[in-house]
């Protein structure tokens, strides 16, 4: 069992939480990044730095993750590509991506992209705090339990 991370955009607290789960449950974590990252010093964690370029890390994740595995990402179009391939996806704030919610998640993402481009709304998501960390841990536990049984 492997869990992949889109490491360029994943909050450190979520990554650290995932590594704790990996140590406890015995699965591999593969961090994929477009730039150098600090890799946790555990044998269960691997870091792959892909050549820089638009969507290089996303393309690597879609190419290498397989059904039965999980990808942690906050990129909605990437999650859509993964879900269509049968790969489970979860954002670092604990919101799962699935066939039932991808249409809505893409529409909301596109709306906010348009509003930002028009200058009608500002920046991205709020700070990553204890509430988000706990929501991520709870969703991660549920998904991992399902995948490891299946």
Would you place residue 126 in the very low, low, confident or very high pLDDT band (cuts 50, 70, 90)? confident
Q: Which helix (H) or strand (E) holds 143?
A: helix 130-149
Q: Residue 92 maps to which CATH number?
A: 3.40.50
**pLDDT tens, residue by residue, 31-80:** 999 989 999 999 999 999 998 777 899 999 999 999 999 999 989 999 99
Residue 117 confidence class, pLDDT cut points 50, 70, 90 = confident
What is the bridge-based pairing of β-strands 88-90 and 96-97? antiparallel
CA distance 108 to 140: 23
What domain range includes position 106?
2-149
Going by pLDDT thresholds of 50, 70 and 90, the confidence category of residue 99 is confident
Tokens of 44: 């269960």
> Could you give the percent of the chain with pLDDT greater than 70?
95
Query: Are the C-beta atoms of residues 61 and 82 closer than 8 Å to each other?
Result: yes
- Is the Cβ–Cβ distance between 63 and 32 less than 8 Å? no
DSSP letters for 74-113: --HHHHHHHHHHT-EEE-TTS-EE-TTTHHHHHHHHHHHH
When the pLDDT of each residue in the chain is averaged and rounded to a whole number, the result is 91
Residue 101: pLDDT band (50, 70, 90) is confident
pLDDT given for residue 119 in this prediction: 76
Instruction: Tell me the two tokens of residue 128.
Output: 């990553």
Q: What pLDDT band is residue 127 in, cutting at 50, 70 and 90?
A: confident
- Domain total of the chain: 1
CA dist., res. 125 & res. 116, Å (int): 13
- Whether the full predicted model's pTM is greater than 0.85, yes or no, is yes
Instruction: Provide the phi-psi class of 113: left if phi over 0, else alpha when psi is between -120 and 50, else beta.
Output: alpha
């Amino acid at each position: 069992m492997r869990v992949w991370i889109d490491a360029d955009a994943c909050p450190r607290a979520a990554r650290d939480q995932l590594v704790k789960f990996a140590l406890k449950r015995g699965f591999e974590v593969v961090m994929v990044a477009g730039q150098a990252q600090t890799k946790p010093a555990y044998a269960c964690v691997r870091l792959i730095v892909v050549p820089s370029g638009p969507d290089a890390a996303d393309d690597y994740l879609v190419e290498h993750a397989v059904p039965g595995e999980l990808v942690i990402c906050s990129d909605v179009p990437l999650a859509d590509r993964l879900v269509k391939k049968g790969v489970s996806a979860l954002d670092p704030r604990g919101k799962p991506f699935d066939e039932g919610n991808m249409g809505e998640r893409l529409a909301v993402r596109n709306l906010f992209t348009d509003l930002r481009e028009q200058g009608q709304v500002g920046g991205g998501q709020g700070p990553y705090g204890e509430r988000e960390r706990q929501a991520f841990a709870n969703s991660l536990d549920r998904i991992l339990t399902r995948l490891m049984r299946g």
